[in-house]
Structure 1
């Protein structure tokens, strides 16, 4: 029987309104009633992930920034895997060379040099994950969503990261041109030491320390709780979810997941617009997966 469930958020737990549906929330509560712990494993920072959970009344442990920062249910930090400053500068140089807009997630929050690009690229992400929306609606949703998040706009990222109290946890790059631009940048970044490059959408790449992966973080949490991999269930839709889908004894890929991602999961559930997370949880309980 499963004892721990870890779910991705964007394209997985979240619906078309970037929230957690009633059906998904009900299934999560049923799992918790049965003594099964639920947690999220997301590429988002803590401040980006928490509002949707709060709105649904869900209090849980959180794997954030693809595993770079792990928090317990009370919001206390449990685990950190950051990128050193020299490597960070090299990554930013590569992204600038390829004209890739980037954001840097740190222990002090999220930083960006260009607000208009953030809205534009987040809108592209929304349009990709929810193709039924018009781009105009996606822009409006992006602007409204981002206004609620804690992000600091600065003039010089390289000066910021050299500050002694700043620890870089994740770098995310966006391009409207998708893999055409991002693939060459990813290839160069992968040649640097101790990094892992993944993505959560066609228009982004996410760079972390090699120890900051969802699979490693889920395994870390499970070990602390005395739970074996056979007793862990993971749910995801994109390439930054693959490590946890491969590791867990029970794994579900969303119906909207990338085809290659589905190959790494044991089961397939419905899409994020069809309460796929709730469906997977109830199936796992019903069939004692």
Structure 2
């Protein structure tokens, strides 16, 4: 019997408007009423993840930053897994040498050194999800989203980290050309060692400590509650969900998931626009 459900957020729990559909909310509540725990598992940091969840009145534990930061339902930190100070500098040097835009995540902040590029990349992301929207409207939506998400823009990320004495939990880098451009830098980053390198979109790669993965965090969270892998269900759509999908005894790839992800999961549900999370949960409850 399933006792814990873990769900990715972007492309899974959330629709393309970055909202949790009503059907998904009701399915989660139905599962909770039957004693099944729910945990959100995302590449987002706390400040970004809680926006969509709070709007939906979903108060649950969260695996954040791909497993580098885990919090309980009261948003209290359970544990963090930082990249390490020297490796952080090595990663930033490698990305800058490749001329790519990146953002740095700590437990409390998201740092960026280029606001115009951030707006441009998020506008491109919106257009990929809603192609009928004009570029001008996408930029306006990106700017509005930026006003709601607490990103701290600084002139020098290295100096800011040193001044605030903050540990970096995740670094994300973007390129519009997608895998073709990012493949090269992935190889360079792998030379650094002890890093987990994955993607949540075709146009990004996310860098964490090798032990900061959704599956590892989910396993620890489950075992602390006395649950085995066979009692865990996981849902996801992209490559930063692989460790979680392979750990869980019951795994669901979204209908919109990458083909490679569909081959890894042992079940396929509807797309995120078709309330695939609700479909999967209802199926499990009926069984």
TM-score normalised according to structure 1 size: 0.96
Please say if residues 269 and 279 of structure 1, whose CA atoms lie closer than 8 Å, have aligned partners that are also in contact: yes
Counterpart check, 1:181 vs 2:178: no
Equivalent positions of 1:33-72 (< 5 A) are 33-72=33-72
Deviation at 1:178, TM superposition (A): 1.2
1:78 alignment partner in structure 2: 78
Q: Encode CA deviations 1:115-143: one digit per residue, 9 max, x unaligned.
A: 11111112223333455655444333322
CA separation in 2, counterparts of 1:221 and 1:127? 36
Superposed counterparts of 1:111-260, under 5 Å: 111-131=111-131, 133-163=133-163, 165-260=165-260
Distance 2:282 2:134 in 1: 33
- Equivalent residues of 1:100, 1:182 under 8 A apart: no
Task: Show structure 1 runs of 4+ deviating over 6 A.
Answer: none
Aligned length: 287
CA distance in 1, matches of 2:66, 2:130: 22
CA distance in 2, matches of 1:277, 1:194: 33
Q: TM (normalized to structure 2)?
A: 0.96
Looking at structure 1, the residues matched to 97 and 196 of structure 2 have their Cα atoms a distance apart, in angstroms, of: 20
Once residues 130 and 55 of structure 2 are traced to their aligned partners in structure 1, the CA distance between those partners, rounded to angstroms, is: 21
Alpha-carbon deviations, 1:226-273, whole Å to 9, x = none? 111000000000000000000000000000001111111010011111
Listed one character per residue, the Cα deviations across residues 81-110 of structure 1 (whole Å, up to 9, x for unaligned) are: 001111111111111111110000012311
- CA distance, structure 1, for counterparts of residue 278 and residue 180 of structure 2: 35
- The runs of 5 or more residues in structure 2 that have no matched partner are none
CA distance in structure 2 between the aligned counterparts of 1:248 and 1:90, rounded to whole angstroms: 33
Rate the CA distance shift 1:31–1:136 in 2: closer, same or farther, 3 A. farther
Q: 3-state SS of the aligned residue for 1:6?
A: strand
RMSD value over aligned CA atoms?
A: 1.3
Q: How far did 1:145 drift? A: 1.7
> How far, CA to CA, are the matches of 2:38 and 2:188 in structure 1?
37
Q: Which residue of 1 aligns with 2:278?
A: 278
